[in-house]
């Protein structure tokens, strides 16, 4: 039997359900296109309670995490939420994650649902005595409130002044009187928040459902279909499809997470070697003139030599075109290069493209900052 | 007639792959069923055969895609394509809005209508087929 989140009772009444990472999750409530456009144009909410949530604290927590990720930890200010990676000894990406520095010596770590067991073991196996790691996935809910209208939807039930919360910042607060952690982060490219509310369990989900239903009254509930098309349109990789334990940060086009002048961390030796040799393939965006690129489709150059593979693709509701993330050979990876994609028995033309795929004056969190 | 909210017009013939055929006169109009359209959720792209192309009964002749999924389109009958609904190239959502009229897919001139129509289901048979494939999950369809 698949697991369920605390908000299952709402989803099963209103959504088409699907199994994802061992959880029975909403795929769509109305249509993926409508939910997608609600997030780009106003506000959508997503139940992301399936994602793994760990609290890391105790003596030496900062030094421990410093040694586990390629991003600087000690110098991050309290209240910062930052994106980083867990690496294996070969420099491959075990998972991508968000770390929230909640106090000088405590951290909340949010990881992909499918990897949370692996991540937990990765941490516990290497944690020195004194460091405490607790999983809080089952005793908290997590909801993403995303879109240009996110502040307006969340503010009425949130005690903190959201206008004072900058992007990639986090604040402990109350939502409908319940202890919460609100971060200005997300997986859609839009302005928005990810909230963790402490307390609700599957056995006693009442407080969680009340918050979800209040938010649903002011925004559009969205399923995993829109979550995937939104993150793809924003050019954000999905671990397990676009990046995985065999991809290093240079191949993943995520080298920016590696802080300069950082000391030892797990995977460092392999990262230094990989930086020297450079990636053989690199992650890129791709836009097609016609057709929809899908996972596993081959990419050819103009002389029909194979240069790469589509790692995830969809139809972009904003561009009205097929878009994809792909892995292409470095020498054929220049943005703008013409490419061909083999779609079943036809070949369609397109170009490698910058990400986000949409015009950032019109969509995405940067446009909100202009007002 | 319907099956748990999915329309199944009684004058049409159906494949188990969820295409319909309107058998009236010399030219047969073809589309996908309300059930297929709703299972796809939101049709965003269709790949159609060209006019004059030959198609074979229950062989793939194109595809209908949603944001998440690709669904093959099977011809209900063998014959020659006489027209395709070119509106769908600009407005694929017509397949969802109106699967049995404006969202039609193509028209064909059948070759062996009398023998091949026996392979197709009538509305009652198609409703029973939907009931059998949805035995375990009353509101679900093929996985996305």
Give the span between the Cα atoms of B24 and B10, in whole angstroms: 13
Q: How far is A14 from chain B (nearest CA, A)?
A: 12
Inside any domain, residue A316: yes
- Look at the block and give the residue holding tokens 């829109």: A226
Looking at the domain assignment, is residue A253 inside a domain?
A: no
Claim to verify: residue A174 and residue A317 sit in the same structural domain: no
pLDDT at B142: 38
Best of B35, B41, B73, B96 to disrupt the A interface (most A CBs within 10 Å) is B41
Q: Which of A176, A210, A233 is the last residue of a domain?
A: A233
Residue where the block lists tokens 């509310």: A197
Q: What is the pLDDT of residues B8-64, one digit of tens each?
A: 999 999 999 999 999 988 999 999 999 999 999 999 999 999 999 999 999 999 999
Q: Is A44 in the same domain as A147?
A: yes
Among B40, B46, B68, CA closest to A314:
B68
Which two structure tokens, joined as six digits, stand for A353? 């493209």
How confident is the model over A326-330, as a mean pLDDT?
Answer: 98
Q: Is B42 on the interface with A (CB under 8 A)?
A: yes
> Does residue A256 sit within a domain?
no
Which position has the token pair 């909340």?
A: A108
Q: Report the DSSP pairing between strands A44-47 and A220-221.
A: parallel
Q: In total, how many domains does chain A have?
A: 2
Mean pLDDT of A237-246: 98
Q: Please tell me whether residues A18 and A144 are part of one structural domain.
A: yes
A25 and A160 assigned to the same domain = yes
- Which CATH number covers residue A37? 3.30.1360.120
What is the pTM assigned to this prediction?
A: 0.94
- Specify whether A218 is located in the same domain as A341: no
Asked whether residue A64 is domain-assigned, the answer is: no
What domain range is A345 assigned to? 280-371
Task: Say if residue B141's pLDDT is above 60.
Answer: no
Q: Is the Cβ pair A315, B44 closer than 8 Å?
A: yes
* Contact criterion met (CB below 8 Å) for A368 and A191: yes
Q: Is A312 on the interface with B (CB under 8 A)?
A: no
Does A152 map to a domain? yes
* CB distance A367 to A349 below 8 Å: no
CA pair distance B87, A60, nearest whole angstrom: 64
CATH no. for residue A352? Answer: 2.40.30.110
CA atoms within 13 A on the CB side of B20: 26
Q: Is residue A36 part of a domain?
A: yes
Say if residue A38 is in the same domain as residue A145: yes
Same-domain pairing of A153 and A212:
yes
Residue A92 lies in a domain: no
Check CB contact of B140 with chain A, cutoff 8 Å: yes
CB of B68 within 8 Å of any CB in chain A?
A: yes
Tokens of A176: 């409908």
Tell whether A200 and A315 lie within a shared domain: no
* One domain, residues A226 and A152: yes
For residue A274, being part of any structural domain is answered with no
Minimum CA–CA partner of A346 in chain B: B47
Domain match, A146 and A224 both = yes
- A244-297: pLDDT as tens digits: 999 999 999 999 999 999 999 999 999 999 999 999 999 999 999 999 999 999
Tell if the CB–CB gap between B45 and A27 is shorter than 8 Å.
Answer: no
B41 contact residues in A (CB cutoff 8 A): 16, 27-28, 31-32, 225
- Over 80: is that where the pLDDT of B138 sits? no
């Amino acid at each position: 039997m698949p697991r369920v989140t605390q908000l299952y009772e709402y989803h099963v009444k209103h959504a088409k359900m699907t199994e994802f990472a061992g959880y029975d999750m909403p795929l769509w409530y109305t249509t993926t296109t409508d939910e997608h456009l609600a997030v780009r144009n106003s506000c959508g909410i997503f139940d992301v309670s399936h994602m793994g949530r760990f609290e890391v604290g105790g003596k030496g927590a900062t030094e421990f995490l410093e040694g586990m990720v390629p991003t600087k930890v000690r110098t991050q200010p309290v209240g910062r939420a930052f994106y980083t990676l867990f690496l294996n000894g070969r420099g491959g990406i075990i998972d991508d994650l968000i770390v929230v520095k909640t106090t000088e010596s405590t951290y909340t770590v949010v990881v992909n649902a499918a990897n949370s067991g692996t991540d937990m073991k990765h941490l516990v196996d290497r944690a020195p005595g004194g460091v405490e790691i607790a999983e809080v996935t089952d005793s908290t809910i997590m909801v993403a409130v995303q879109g240009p209208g996110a502040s307006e939807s969340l503010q009425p039930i949130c005690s903190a002044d959201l206008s004072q919360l900058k992007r990639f910042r986090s604040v402990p607060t109350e939502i409908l009187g319940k202890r919460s952690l609100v971060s200005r982060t997300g997986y859609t490219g839009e302005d928005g928040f990810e909230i963790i509310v402490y307390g609700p369990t599957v056995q006693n989900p009442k407080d969680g459902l009340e918050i979800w239903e209040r938010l649903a009254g002011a925004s559009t509930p969205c399923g995993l279909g829109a979550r995937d098309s939104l993150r793809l349109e924003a050019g954000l990789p999905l671990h397990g499809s676009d990046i995985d334990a065999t991809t290093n940060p240079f191949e993943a086009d995520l080298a920016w997470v590696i802080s300069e002048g950082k000391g030892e961390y797990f995977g460092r030796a392999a990262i230094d070697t990989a930086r020297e040799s450079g990636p053989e393939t690199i992650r890129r965006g791709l836009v097609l003139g016609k057709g929809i690129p899908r996972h596993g489709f081959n990419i050819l150059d103009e002389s029909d030599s194979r240069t790469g593979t589509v790692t995830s693709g969809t139809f972009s509701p904003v561009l009205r075109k097929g878009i994809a993330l792909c892995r292409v050979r470095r020498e054929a990876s220049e943005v703008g290069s013409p490419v061909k994609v083999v779609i079943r028995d036809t070949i369609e033309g397109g170009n490698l493209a910058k990400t986000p795929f949409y015009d950032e004056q019109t969509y995405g969190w940067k446009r909100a900052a202009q007002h | 007639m319907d099956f748990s909210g999915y329309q199944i017009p009684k004058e049409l013939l159906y494949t188990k792959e969820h295409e319909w055929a309107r058998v009236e006169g010399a030219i047969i109009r073809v589309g996908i069923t309300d059930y297929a359209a709703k299972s796809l959720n939101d049709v965003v792209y269709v790949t159609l055969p060209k006019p004059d192309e030959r198609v074979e009964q229950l062989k793939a002749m194109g595809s209908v895609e949603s944001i998440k999924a690709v669904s093959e389109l099977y011809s209900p009958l063998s014959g020659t394509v006489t027209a395709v609904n070119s509106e769908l190239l600009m407005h694929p959502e017509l397949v969802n809005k109106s699967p049995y009229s404006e969202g039609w897919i193509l028209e064909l001139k059948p070759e062996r209508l009398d023998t091949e129509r026996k392979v197709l289901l009538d509305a009652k048979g198609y409703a029973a087929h939907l009931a059998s494939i949805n035995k375990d999950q009353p509101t679900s369809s093929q996985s996305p």
